[in-house]
A and B are shown apart, each in its own frame.
Chain A
Amino acid sequence: MTDGVDAGDPKPKPRRRGRQSVLFRDRYEQDLQHVQGTAGWIGMAIAAAVVVALPLVAQGYVVYNVTLFFVYALVALSLAVLVGMTGQVSLGHAGFLAAGAYAQAALAGLGVPYVVTLLAAIAVAALLGLVIGVPALRLEGPYLAIATLGFGLAIQQILNNWRFVGASTGTITDRPVILGIDFYGDSAYYWLVAALTALVVWMVLNLERSHVGRAFRAVRDADLAAQMSGISLSKYKSLAFVVSAGIAGLAGALYGPLIGYLTPEGFNLLLSIKFLLMVVVGGLGPLPGALVGAGFITGLELYISTFRAWSQLVFGAVVMLVLILEPTGLYGRWLKIRNYWKTWPM
């Protein structure tokens, strides 16, 4: 079909920059760009403006819940690195979140500056990730799922019996003061969390396009073949756990001051399951899927909490419907719709 069209042209015209097709990439540089084309940049600018301006126009209740969404989005991103990129399941991510949150709260209680507690929370969670990641090297599929589930429950049990962090009564956390700026207000704290979330999103996107990201995906798609190509399975599998746990730890350090009060019961199995739901319902694989999933699950929970007794039933039904109807998740469905219109009528 294209033969007849191309016959008259001696040379194909070079494409103009800015009119590149969103669907098909024909140069390697396009793979490296996070934002594609002019429309992409305009979309980014609008999204950034909305995120920054939100506390100025919305009510405190909305601002609080969007902040919560950012925290959940961080955990979903961390799971996207582990489950989506590397193919290792974790049913215990609430454990890493708890580790970060409690590390931050305990250090802040001792009078350590906030920035240091934030870094310490990341370090503690990442260390735990290494502790879990190394034995996880030998496990796969259901065995890994149950082992991580056990890890999550074990963390909860330890916190429940540890007097120093308040045992089962929990511990109080305060909003931080950084360099004399008080982040006590919901809006101020919102901007702090939004900035850190944006930073992590950018870092994870960079990770994905680096050689480490490619190694992660190679391990996921064909571990034996990856090993044959010189990729160290043990190195990259445990690295994925460390990176993922570190991000979840950061999310925990932001989560504590947001809700103000930590109890071991708050980091139960249901929370771990919810995080996994976010990644899979959003779409496993592409990173925006994790963000879409976090937004969808957080929003759905808020919306159906008005149904009272019906809420759990409806929540389960919606999750099942998404999985029965759309295996690639919500983001996958959006890509299909977008591609349909871009290529219409073909």
Chain B
Amino acid sequence: MTSFGEVLQVLVSGATIGSVYALVALGLVLVYRTTRILNFAHGDVGVLGTFITYVLFTNLELPFGLSFLLALAAAAVIGAVIYLVTVRPARTKSDLGLIILTLGLALFLGGFDALVFGTDNKVVPTLGPDTIVRTAGASFSVASLMTAGFGVLLMLGLWALLTFTKLGVAMRAVAQREDVAEAMGLPVRTVLVATWGAAAVLATAAALLFAPTTLLNPTMMLDPLSKGFVAAVIGGMNSLPGAVVGGYVLGILELLVGVYVSLEFKASFAFLVVIIVLLVRPHGLLGRPDVKRV
């Protein structure tokens, strides 16, 4: 017996978690398109940003909104520094070597968080009040609606950045052909720094939106990061719209499985989806295959 309200409930709740997956996937795709790196440190960058928010809010007693914005700015700097200090000077140029580099970075950041902030669970406030709204037989908390809305707002912001600003156009040019972009006189290094910074902002936003549901600790982003990878792969690793589609599709499907099939199956379901999607479309739903020459 499924009513309209129940379906609506699942759709909205799925879209809430889906917007977190979509934000994580967007950051991963942004970095992958330009530098060909699967960034396994993405989640830990987000956790670090969330810890910064927590310290600003709890220890320095700044307003939550201000701490949030300051943490996003700090994340942009952290992303830029990570690129300049680890990725840029790395003599390893193979894809696998760079993946391993980000794995090392993930361990380093995780260890740093545990050392500085501790491994105990911390409570992070939600974006909005916890009041419940009832419409058409379904009930949502205002906080979850605001989470979903903020996610959409950030995605629109990224879209505007990439479409209307000079920096955004330069980012797309570098993603398309780095060598040609450099030959045309674009400051590739600055553009890449900006790309890593933007990805770190997305990671922090995703972690901040996700933190109230689990509580903040250094390993909090492990699950959303792997789901973000799945979302990015479902959508196609080189397609930004694909990452958004993948995130929402995964969030809603996962919730449907959790509600109607079995809760134990929910965790591994994402990887079943990825294998099925890749069997049908090896480069994701919206991704384009790389053209290869011998």
Contact = CB atoms under 8 A, between A and B. Distances in A.
Nearest to B86: A320
Contacts of A312: 107-108, 110-111, 114
Interface in B20-52: 32, 38, 40
B91 A324 contact: yes
A52 interface: no
Interface string A221-246: 01011001000000000000000000
B86 A315 contact: no
Query: Which of under 10, 10 to 19, 20 to 34, or 35 or more describes the interface residues of A?
Result: 35 or more
Contact of A324 (B92, B95, B270, B294): B92
B233 interface: yes
Contacts of A4: none
B237 A320 contact: no
A150 interface: yes
B237 A143 contact: yes
Contacts of B181: none
Given A147-B275, A327-B91, A319 B104 contact: yes
B89 A317 contact: no
Interface string A274-296: 00110011001000000000000
Contact of B115 (A143, A161, A313): A313
Contact of B110 (A146, A149, A316): A316
A141 B279 CA distance: 15
A143 B233 contact: yes
Which of A151, A280, A281, A316 has the largest number of chain B CB atoms within 10 A? A316
B191 interface: no
A315 B267 CA distance: 29
B294 A138 contact: no
A206 to B, nearest CB: 25
A210 B266 CA distance: 45
Contact of A89 (B96, B110, B282): B96
Interface string A141-180: 1110111011101100110010000000000000000000
A343 B279 CA distance: 51
B276 to A, nearest CB: 10
Interface in B87-129: 89-97, 99-101, 103-112, 114-115
Contact of B96 (A143, A280, A316): A280
A57 interface: no
Contact of B100 (A153, A228, A277, A310): A277
Contacts, number: 138
A23 interface: no
B61 interface: no
A224 B294 contact: yes
B237 A324 contact: no
A231 to B, nearest CB: 14
Interface string A67-103: 0000000000000000100000100000000000000
Contact of A315 (B111, B230, B270): B111
Contacts of A158: 268
A154 B100 contact: no
B103 A319 contact: yes
Contacts of B139: none
A281 B279 CA distance: 32
A5 interface: no
Nearest to A227: B294
By secondary structure, the B interface counts as helix
Given A154-B268, A320-B101, A135 B275 contact: yes
A312 B97 CA distance: 20
Given A145-B38, A153-B226, A316-B107, A327 B32 contact: no
Given A145-B38, A147-B275, A280 B105 contact: no
Contacts of B115: 309-310, 313
Given A138-B282, A309-B115, A150 B96 contact: no
A146 B83 CA distance: 23
A151 B237 contact: no
B66 interface: no
A125 B111 CA distance: 33
Nearest to B32: A142
Contact of B271 (A151, A228, A276, A311): A151
Contacts of B282: 138-139, 143
Contact of B104 (A151, A154, A224, A320): A320
Given A146-B229, A150-B230, A313-B111, A225 B294 contact: yes
B264 A161 contact: yes
A157 B268 contact: yes
B107 A319 contact: yes
Nearest to B293: A224
B172 interface: no
A281 B95 contact: no
Contacts of B230: 146, 150
A143 B105 CA distance: 21
6 contacts: A146-B274, A150-B270, A153-B267, A157-B264, A281-B100, A316-B107
Given A150-B274, A312-B107, A327-B93, 16 more contacts: A139-B282, A146-B230, A147-B233, A147-B275, A150-B271, A153-B226, A224-B292, A284-B97, A310-B115, A313-B115, A315-B108, A316-B110, A319-B101, A320-B108, A325-B91, A327-B94
**Closest 10 CB pairs between A and B?**
A150-B271, A316-B108, A313-B111, A312-B111, A316-B107, A319-B104, A157-B268, A327-B92, A320-B104, A138-B282
Interface of A: 83, 89, 135, 138-139, 141-143, 145-147, 149-151, 153-154, 157-158, 161, 222, 224-225, 228, 269, 273, 276-277, 280-281, 284, 309-320, 323-327
